Amino acid sequence: MNLYICSSLIGHKTDLYFMARRFIIADPSEDVQLMLSQYISIGWHDAEIEEETIKDLLAAERVETDVIIVGETSSNDPNLHALLKRSDAGEIPPVIIINNEGNEFNESSSMNAPVLSMEDITPVNLNGIIAEALKQQADGVIKQRKKSKKDSEKSHEDNEIPTEKLEGLKGYRIIRELGRGGMSRVLLAEDLDDGKEVAIKVLDTKTIEDERMIERFIREYAILSSVDNPHVVKIYDQTFTDQYAFIIMQRFPGGDLTRRIRKGIRPDQAIRYLVQIARGLEAVHEEGIVHRDLKPGNILFYDNTRLALVDFGLSQTEDDSTDLTRHGEVYGTPSYVSPEQARGRRVDQRSDIYSAGIIFYQMLTREKPYRADNPMAMFYKHVHAELPMLPGEFSEYQSLLDKMLAKSPDDRFQSASELAQALQEYMQ
**In whole angstroms, what is the distance from residue 179 CA to residue 125 CA?**
13
Residue 191 annotated as catalytic: no
List for the chain the helix, strand, coil content (%; round to 5): 40, 20, 40
Cβ atoms of 133 and 180 within 8 Å: the answer is: no
Strands 115-117 and 95-99: parallel
Rg (CA), the chain: 21
Contacts of 422 (CB under 8 A, 6+ apart): 400, 403, 413
Cβ atoms of 198 and 236 within 8 Å: the answer is: yes
Cβ atoms of 111 and 82 within 8 Å: the answer is: no
Cβ atoms of 251 and 310 within 8 Å: the answer is: no
The amino acid present at 63, given as its one-letter code, is V
Q: Which helix (H) or strand (E) holds 57?
A: helix 54-59
How many Cβ atoms from other residues are within 10 Å of residue 381's Cβ? 18
Cβ atoms of 291 and 309 within 8 Å: the answer is: yes
Largest separation between any pair of C-alpha atoms in the chain? 65
Sequential DSSP letters for 97-154: EEESSTHHHHHH---SS-EEETTT--HHHHHHHHHHHHHHHHTT-GGGHHHHHHHHHH
Q: Which of 302, 213, 153 is nearest to 7 (CA)?
A: 213
Q: Which of 326, 239, 233 is nearest to 280 (CA)?
A: 233
**In whole angstroms, what is the distance from residue 270 CA to residue 272 CA?**
5
Q: Which of 188, 191, 190 is nearest to 200 (CA)?
A: 188
Cβ atoms of 87 and 60 within 8 Å: the answer is: no
Q: Which of 377, 293, 381 is nearest to 42 (CA)?
A: 377
| Candidates 88, 120, 256, 293; catalytic one | 293
Contacts of 132 (CB under 8 A, 6+ apart): 114, 182, 207
**Residues annotated as part of the active site:** 293
